[in-house]
Amino acid sequence: MQAGQCWQCESPAENNLFCKFCNSLQRPLTDYYAFFGLEHKLNIDNEDLQRRFYQLSKLLHPDRYTRRAQRERDYSLEATAILNDGYRVLRDPVKRAEYILAEQGFEVGEQRAKDVPPELLEEVFELNMALEELVSGASSVRPQLEEARSRFRAMRREADERLGDLYKLWDASGERDSLVAVRGELNRRKYIENLITEVEKALSA
């Protein structure tokens, strides 16, 4: 069998999940967007994604392949794993953006300090200091902590809104600069998330 051919009947497979001619299951595509038949966009329609997920779940369920060729049984297992991982990533706007960034060659995991704007670090540092003072204070600071939590949550909402706008920008232009901005905002959001975790820890203590 050559690449791009159905393993069973050797007709052109054209990256379809099933061969158009003999209907046998093909080796699944590993790219999540391609697997779900979606364009590589940062904004996606979550309802459409969910529909695709349910539809593919039915088509690919390993139970349907128990009487089929070993190869199809293997492919259905592989495809189901990609389906679940892909759905988990694509339905989450942050994970989805990280996926696109990684695909576009951005190093998401290990970033050096140069990638983080100093103003953001200063802001995060000050917020952490303020939070620490609240937590270590002798008197009851519950109201202030709750106030801080709602402020951080508002900051997260703002970050999400900015991300949504940046997503639109990249989807429309495909320019790398807009992805740089996406990564910056994702970093900021990550710090805000940490602050929320910290303040919630303090509130539940």
Partner 1 sequence: MAYSDKVLDHYNNPRNVGSLDKGASNVGTGIVGAPECGDVMKLQVQVNPATGIIEEAKFKTFGCGSAIASSSLATEWLKGKTVDQALEIKNTDIVNELSLPPVKIHCSVLAEDAIKAAIQDYKQKAGVPVEAAVQQA
From 41-49, 52-60, 78-86, 112-120, span contacting partner 1 (CB under 8 A): 112-120
Stretch that binds partner 1, among 26-34, 63-71, 119-127, 133-141 (CB under 8 A): 119-127
Compose the 140-169 pattern: x for residues touching partner 1 by CB under 8 A, - for all others.
------------------------------
Q: In whole angstroms, what is the distance from residue 52 CA to residue 62 CA?
A: 17
The reply to whether 179 sits near partner 1 by the rule CB under 8 A is: no
What are the φ/ψ torsions at residue 5 (nearest 5 degrees)? -115, 150
Q: How far is the CB of 137 from partner 1 (least distance, A)?
A: 17
Q: Which of 128, 130, 156, 171 forms a contact with partner 1 (CB under 8 A)? A: 128
How far apart (Å, rounded) are the C-alpha atoms in residues 124 and 187?
11
| 186-205 b/e (C-beta count within 10 Å ≥ 16 → b) | bbbbebbeebbebbeebeee
Report the residue from 11, 57, 69, 125 that binds partner 1 according to the rule CB under 8 A. 125
Cα dihedral value 134, 139, 141, 142, nearest 10? 140
Asked if residue 196 binds partner 1 (CB under 8 A), the reply is no
